[in-house]
Structure 1
Amino acid sequence: MSTHILGIRHHGPGSARHVKEYLEKVKPDIVLVEGPPEADSILEWVSNDLLKPPVAILAYQPDAPQKAVFYPFAEFSPEWQAILYARRNNIPVRFMDLPMAHQFELKAEKAPKPEAEAPSLNNSLAPYIPDTNIVRRNPVAYLAGAAGFADEEKWWEHMFEYRQDPEAVFTAVAEGMQALRQDLHLPYDREEQLREAHMRKTIRQAEREMYTEIAVVCGAWHTPALLNMGKAKDDNELLKGLPKVKVATTWIPWTYNRLSYNSGYGAGINSPGWYEHNWRYHDDDGTRWMSRVARLFREQQKDISVAHVMEAVRLANALTALRGLPKAGLEELNEATLSVLCNGEDILLQLINEELIVSDKIGEVPTDIPRPPLQTDIEKLQKKLRLPQTADYKDYVLDLRKDTDLERSILLHRMEMLDIRWGHRYGPSGKGTFKEQWRLQWDPGFSIDIIEKGSWGNTVEEAASKYVQHQAKTATSLKEVCTLLETAIPAELHDAIEALVQQVNNLAAATGDVMQLMTVIPGLVQISRYGNVRKTDATLVDGIVAGMITRICVSLPAACIGIADDAAAELLELIYNMNDALLILQDPELTTQWQQTISYIARNDSSAPVIGGYATRLLADHRQLSGNDLVKVFSYAMSAATAPAIAAAWLEGFLKGSGTLLLVDNDLWTVVYNWMHQLEEDAFKQLLPLLRRTFSGFTKAERRKLGEKAKGGVSGTTGVSQHTMENIDATRAMKGIPVVLQMLGVK
């Protein structure tokens, strides 16, 4: 009976090749692999041709899906090759790590680690010996530093990954790890002890089952603990009485860029694309890699010849020889690429990193693998609507007049409602348009969100609807509910919309805060006015909008009295948006109510000056105040009897958004001119910042014309403008008015 301990580096292509060759040589009758035992039941899928790495085992608690962990595998992962060997040779394969049923609970109750005595580091060995904290997290960094390498990944590659004798490599790994564990005296926490105890327990179980050749594939650090088995009694005592929870597992697609994350057994790599190249072409002297780089550059319209490739390969191999390395690594190839192919422009290396070194490859999982019903429905809709899961960004412009694009939009909005941010809208869509712009990128981490949201329903529509209804019931803010309503309508969640409308109605009736009501009106008006673009009946909100506007019209005048400047500025913006909303709504009855309200505010001397000024401007815009009446109101507000600060605030409100009135109405211009002319110097200096803020809101053209008009003094006209006014043909001008009115849609 023989037990073979194969210490490997997770996701190491050389380690994967060594494991494969070693297993083919010793022909074990059982293979044990570091990983969660709960996933033993899904290992049968590894030999399925439709399960294409990179993939990951997702282990999670069904009753708390947010507690989950991923165990990713690439084609070049040693564990994957070990499992694949066992499946193809019809021998048992098992995971031997501490079950996640225990690990989830241990992580939940894990206390902060006590400060341990720092290991004694001999910094005289080399200038690259890392500090104590790095060694605690990654002990291999100590060996790399002792060998003169600042990067432990590069050291491991050259010392173990590129070697040809698997047996010698595994022996060297075991000796190196044994020396580290004996000499560094690193902190050894309880969870690690439990994990290694369970690994030994699994090996003993295989021995009791009379397997004669047992292959054990584990992380290199655990090798000494499995070579020195110790007493079974001690391990059993250590594992006794551990807390336990229910755990489910499944396969999910993974991506190369997420292989750089630390998850599962804590492994992460920076260059999965390069590692895949090493796995497939381990005898490459750099020629194949440089050819791929050249092909990438040619696709970017950069001229690269065969001579460039040959020269870059020669330079990389020369660097390798100078550094005493057995084979050109990524660092040497990148330096050669930078010098020969990039002409020293390191910005092109970023392209190589994204496309080749990391890559955006995503794995595939068979459709018949057991998975949550919600995930099955999402994948079915993705296939139907031709929206594949991709690791890179993909942009879509959807025309909502087309059935397929409309269904795509509905799906993306529903996913957004479920907080699964697969798609992100970008770019101005405009009011009432038929287009949406989306950028999609699939993240394997969405699997947890899908499992979590699966408790609300088995289909996307059902889950989104029930989840939104739950949010509506628990929401206490009117703005929050209205925001949900805005997003639920394009998602076509009819049951949820009815619940949200009812909640909006309840909250609106209960609130006496006019500012809160005004905050949500613009969004509701957008729904009422433009909801039918998506073939959605938006009349559900019409009654609510009318009732809320009526409440606002009743309460707003009182809200404008006796408020501080900051509150007045905030209320001014709300009135501005409210007026825009009513212009969009085009409801005569509500418009009349609004005109009566702003008329009362404008004529009330107790209203905040800036709001009173803006209310007067709105009356002028609505043609409720014009001619001499407007001049009288304006003159009264800007008279010498009015305090300069109040007059300036009133003027700021009146001119909010545009100064056109001052350009076209010389009477108003004269009032402003005379008011400013009679200001004392000290008062003018105090008001100057306010006046500058008022005029800074105008367009450049308005400011320029106002400056030109100011040169004309009280008359406000220049020689050119006077000449133009004197030569107007009134008869010809009147003929153009009907055409302009027709263009504006005025009957």
Structure 2
Amino acid sequence: MSVHILGIRHHGPGSARNVKAFLEALQPDIVLVEGPPEADAILQWADHEDLQPPVAILAYQPDSPQQACFYPFAAFSPEWQAIQYARRQNIHVRFMDLPLAHVFAREQAEKAAAEAAASQATPDAADDTSLTATPMCSAGQEVPEVAVADEEAFTLPLRRDPISHLAAAAGYDDGERWWEHMFEYRQQPDQVFEAVHDAMQALREELPGNNDPREALREAWMRKVIRQAEKEMFQRIAVICGAWHAPALSHMPKAKEDNDLLKGLPKVKVECTWIPWTYNRLSYESGYGAGIPSPGWYEHHWHHPADDGTRWMARVARLFREQQQDISVAHVMEAVRLANALASLRHYSRPGLEELNEATLSVLCNGEALLMKLIREELIVSNCIGSVPLSVPKPPLQADIEKLQKKLRLPQTAGFKDYILDLRKDTDLERSIFLHRLQLLEIQWGKRFEISGKGTFKEQWRLQWDPALTVDIIEKGNQGNTVEEAAAKFVISRAAATDTLREVCSMLSSALPADLPVVADVLIHRINNLAAAAGDVLQLMEVIPALVNISRYGNVRKTDAALVTGIAESMISRICISLPAACTAVAEEAAQSLLDLFYAMNDAISLLQQSAQTHTWQDTLQAIARNRQSAPVIAGYATRLLFDYKVCTGEELVKTFSVAMSVASPPAEAAAWLEGFLKGSGTLLLLDEELWGMVYQWVFRLENDIFIQVLPLLRRTFSNFTAPERKKLGDKVKTGGTGNSPSALVSTSGPDAIRGAQGIPVVMQLLGY
């Protein structure tokens, strides 16, 4: 009976190759792999033809899905190659890490204890608490990637990677690069595992602070699993673990010591499944603690271990040519030659990624680092995504989503993909409904963009799959077994929990394109109740545009948008009754906010195209415009809207304008009234000479000190005009307002000597005299 401990680097192609060769030579009876024992039941799918890495084991707590973690695998992961060997040889394979049932339970207990301690501390101290994550290192101290409900930054303990000590002793400033050249790129695997064991043993003996209780629990459980395999009379036991754990598994303490350490651990229920993974999520940038800097390069090295750089440079050249870059065969040959020369100077047997990148930058990129970003995204990291068979057990909601993705031909992709949907086509309409329902469930797979000039029957979506979305899907699984059922229940529960009219209207506008008529009925009833109880006219004005916009979906989406018409009309009537009083005694800042609501309200009524509501709105505008107590900017805009409706024109408009801009009105109020009247367009002043003359004369008659006071208001008014409008107005001022006569501002009697003399002292002071 023999136990063989193979210390490896997670996701290392050289380690994977060495493990595969060792197992083929040893021919073990059982393979024990570092991983969650709860996932043993799903290892039967590991050799399924549709399970293509990169993939990950998702382990989660059913009653708290956000308590979850991932165990990712690539084709070049040593654990994956060990599992594949065992499945091919039809021998036993088991995971041997500390069960997540205990890990999750301990984390919950620690979190509860921390919250209890924080609640007893002072408020300031409680606010300073932060979530702590278990450290990970490339040598094998991997803890699974944890998905948490919020996105608070993790606070990592300051702990140096043990491998960095060996790298520094060998003259390297990067532990990853040292490990790659010592183990991943090495072509002679003889005694490599013995070397790894001895190196880790020395580190564990020499480094202080090597008493992490979590690591002690994990290693105790691993030894327990090894002892169990020995009791079952397996003769040749192969153990695949992180390099850091190898010495702890080689020297077995008494079983009683481990049992005492593991005694009384809390436990929760955990379930596991396979999910697709991406190389991007396997990289350092994703925050994955055992991540690697270059998964795309590692895959290349896994498939072509003897490549001297020629194959890699050919891939780089093909990528550049696809981007219309001029790359010749001579460029590739020179880059390969330079990479090998750099490797020789550094005493390497063959070039690594660092040498290939330097050669690429010098020869193919002509020193331009910008193109290296493209190589990193497309080749070094890559956007590869794995696949999982449909037969793998999944929660019902996840299975329904995958079924719809396949039916609607919306595949999960690591990179983003754009879709322009024509809602007049049945398939595109079903796609749109599906994506809108996912958004209602807060599953952000797709992002919608507005399309200008395409009408209401076009939608543009950008889809990019993130494996972490699986956790969100599982979490929403308690809402229903299908997307339609879960979305309906989720929105209804949210609507019942909110008392904000705006939020419920937003839910309704999202529920209609999602084709959820039952939800729409509930939301409409909820809106009706909230609107009846709402006493704030501004709150009603905020939701009217959203309700009116719902009518746009009536024809294209085949939904009964008329359900909200009665509510909208009732709310408009209430707004028209209360609005004149709300426009009086309003501060300047509040008036500006109210002006935006007026703008949206007027557009909504125009879109509604109901004559009765339009007439009621016009009567309200007249009441506001004629009331001397109305805020000037609101009164001015109300007058402008009446002019647009052709209600206030001709002499009536001139009279209203004259009264508002007369010298009897305070200049600040007149300027504010003018700002409201001209909101959105200066064309009126360009076309109506009578209005222009009144504005011109009003400005001309202002005293200097008063002009300085109202100048900011005038600037704000004219800054909202388009550049061509401002230019034409400026030209009109230069010509005196008519475009033909000299400017009235220029005196025809010659210079004013007295006024000129007053400026001479100021000019002399500026010149230093």
TM-score, with structure 1 as normaliser: 0.91
The corresponding residue for 2:217 is: 194
The corresponding residue for 1:729 is: none
The corresponding residue for 1:428 is: 451
**1:581-614 alpha-carbon deviations (Å, 9 max, x no partner):** 1111111000011011111111111111111111
Shift of 1:429: 4.4
Match of 2:280 among 251, 257, 274: 257
1:700 and 2:723 matched: yes
1:35 and 2:35 matched: yes
The corresponding residue for 1:54 is: 54
The corresponding residue for 1:335 is: 358
Shift of 1:431: 7.9
Distance 1:113 1:406, change over 3 A: closer
How far apart, CA to CA, are the structure 1 residues paired with 2:184 and 2:697? 87
The corresponding residue for 1:301 is: 324
The corresponding residue for 2:119 is: none
Which amino acid in the other structure matches residue 603 of structure 2? D
Shift of 1:375: 1.4
Residues 105 and 244, structure 1, Cα contact 8 Å, conserved in 2: yes
Shift of 1:288: 1.5
The corresponding residue for 1:183 is: 206
Distance 1:37 1:413, change over 3 A: same
Which amino acid in the other structure matches residue 425 of structure 1? R
The aligned runs of 1:630-669 (5 Å cut-off) are 630-669=653-692
Which amino acid in the other structure matches residue 491 of structure 1? A
Shift of 1:146: 1.9
The corresponding residue for 1:390 is: 413
Residues 134 and 141, structure 1, Cα contact 8 Å, conserved in 2: no
The corresponding residue for 2:740 is: 718
Residues 255 and 444, structure 1, Cα contact 8 Å, conserved in 2: yes
How far apart, CA to CA, are the structure 1 residues paired with 2:335 and 2:692? 74
How far apart, CA to CA, are the structure 1 residues paired with 2:519 and 2:690? 55
How far apart, CA to CA, are the structure 1 residues paired with 2:327 and 2:283? 31
1:613 and 2:628 matched: no
How far apart, CA to CA, are the structure 2 residues paired with 1:40 and 1:515? 60
The corresponding residue for 1:5 is: 5
Shift of 1:719: 6.1
The corresponding residue for 2:556 is: 533
**1:389-445 alpha-carbon deviations (Å, 9 max, x no partner):** 111111111111111111111111111111111111124345843111111111111
The corresponding residue for 2:620 is: 597
**1:319-375 alpha-carbon deviations (Å, 9 max, x no partner):** 111011232100001111112222222222122111111111111111111111111
Report which stretch shifted further, 496-505 or 655-664: 655-664
The corresponding residue for 1:285 is: 308
1:418 and 2:441 matched: yes
Distance 1:113 1:398, change over 3 A: closer
Which amino acid in the other structure matches residue 664 of structure 1? L
- Percent identity over the alignment is 67
The corresponding residue for 2:270 is: 247
Residues 414 and 464, structure 2, Cα contact 8 Å, conserved in 1: yes
Distance 1:462 1:152, change over 3 A: same
Distance 1:609 1:101, change over 3 A: same
Which amino acid in the other structure matches residue 338 of structure 1? L
Aligned to 1:294, what secondary structure does the other structure show? helix
How far apart, CA to CA, are the structure 1 residues paired with 2:47 and 2:656? 86
The corresponding residue for 2:395 is: 372
The corresponding residue for 1:90 is: 90
Distance 1:620 1:694, change over 3 A: same
Residues 104 and 268, structure 2, Cα contact 8 Å, conserved in 1: yes
Which amino acid in the other structure matches residue 59 of structure 1? A
How far apart, CA to CA, are the structure 2 residues paired with 1:21 and 1:571? 75
The corresponding residue for 2:17 is: 17
The corresponding residue for 1:81 is: 81
Distance 1:529 1:3, change over 3 A: closer
Residues 7 and 173, structure 1, Cα contact 8 Å, conserved in 2: yes
Aligned to 1:166, what secondary structure does the other structure show? coil
How far apart, CA to CA, are the structure 2 residues paired with 1:58 and 1:89? 26
The corresponding residue for 1:161 is: 184
Which amino acid in the other structure matches residue 26 of structure 1? L
How far apart, CA to CA, are the structure 1 residues paired with 2:598 and 2:256? 78
Gaps of 5+ in 1: 115-132, 721-747
Report which stretch shifted further, 619-628 or 597-606: 619-628
Shift of 1:700: 2.1
1:136 and 2:163 matched: no
How far apart, CA to CA, are the structure 2 residues paired with 1:262 and 1:587? 55
1:512 and 2:541 matched: no
Which amino acid in the other structure matches residue 83 of structure 1? I
Residues 280 and 286, structure 2, Cα contact 8 Å, conserved in 1: no
How far apart, CA to CA, are the structure 1 residues paired with 2:683 and 2:50? 68
Shift of 1:165: 4.1
Shift of 1:530: 4.4
Shift of 1:164: 3.6
1:204 and 2:262 matched: no
Distance 1:256 1:673, change over 3 A: same
Match of 2:489 among 466, 475, 495: 466
Cα RMSD between the aligned structures? 1.9
Shift of 1:666: 2.4
Aligned to 1:109, what secondary structure does the other structure show? helix
Which amino acid in the other structure matches residue 651 of structure 2? N
Which amino acid in the other structure matches residue 89 of structure 1? Q
Aligned to 2:227, what secondary structure does the other structure show? helix
How far apart, CA to CA, are the structure 2 residues paired with 1:97 and 1:320? 39
Shift of 1:657: 1.1
Shift of 1:709: 2.6
Which amino acid in the other structure matches residue 10 of structure 1? H
Aligned to 2:159, what secondary structure does the other structure show? helix
The corresponding residue for 1:122 is: none
